[in-house]
Amino acid sequence: MQVDHWQFLQNYTPARIARGRAGHSFPTNELLKFQADHAQARDAVYSTLNIPALSESLQLTLDLPIIHLKSGIENRSQYLQRPDLGRTLSQESREVLQTMKAEESDVCFVVTDGLSAEAINQNIGSVLENIIAKLNKINWKIASICLVEQGRVAVADEIGYLLKSKIVVVFIGERPGLTSPNSMGAYITFNPQVGITDESRNCVSNIRPEGMNPETASDKIIYLLNEMKVKKISGVHLKDEANDSKYLN
């Protein structure tokens, strides 16, 4: 195998650079690693939420009601082919929320699988626990936690609207990369309602042990929540100045 003179760059990034070569090809060992990572990413797309374990652990640690909902998707193949149906609740789930007669709240947290349910299974517990503990200290009114199967980001807008929440946060499994099959994202929207588009949201991405760690992600989300509550805006209108914020102290 011929040595790659850029190999030192592997100390700074997991990206596939400076992997050496054998003739005009990858070395066999690097090719096998690539195939393994590709398989892991594909598996992440077809992973499923561990609803019983998530419901039990979240209810125990957060002391909040847990609501199990579904999008308009029937199976995983349909989820990948019909993004529009993943953005809306099923009729049955919509009726569940409509009959709750929810009281107004400051924030609603939605948890959904997205393109990597395993990212949620691994990361959601510590992040939500940290955020809700801090919000409780400043007397935020928090709606029930909603677990949604086969959801896209926009499904949270309908949920937040039906639960009469001023702000909605949706945690979702992000599209898996070859080095990040377990990456979770958080999308935050002020005044949620059906039909909102992505410029109205703020995003905190790459939440995982090897990326943005749970504590840092929690602080960033708390900052954005406080800014939204005070300024009553989100998305492109809300400038992120978290490094100077008192909310990170």
Extract the residue ranges of the chain whose pLDDT is less than 70: 1-4, 243-249
Q: Is 153 annotated as a binding residue?
A: yes
Strands 145-149 and 184-190, bridge-based pairing: unpaired
Q: pLDDT tens digits for 169-179?
A: 999 999 998 88
Domain residue extents for the chain: 7-45, 51-248
Q: pLDDT tens digits for 152-172?
A: 999 999 999 999 999 999 999
pLDDT at 248: 44
Q: Is 146 annotated as a binding residue?
A: no
Q: What is the pTM assigned to this prediction?
A: 0.89
CA distances from 64 to 60, 108, 133, 197 (A): 8, 11, 12, 29
Dist. CA 132–CA 63, nearest whole Å: 10
Topology of domain 51-248 in CATH is Rossmann fold (3.40.50)
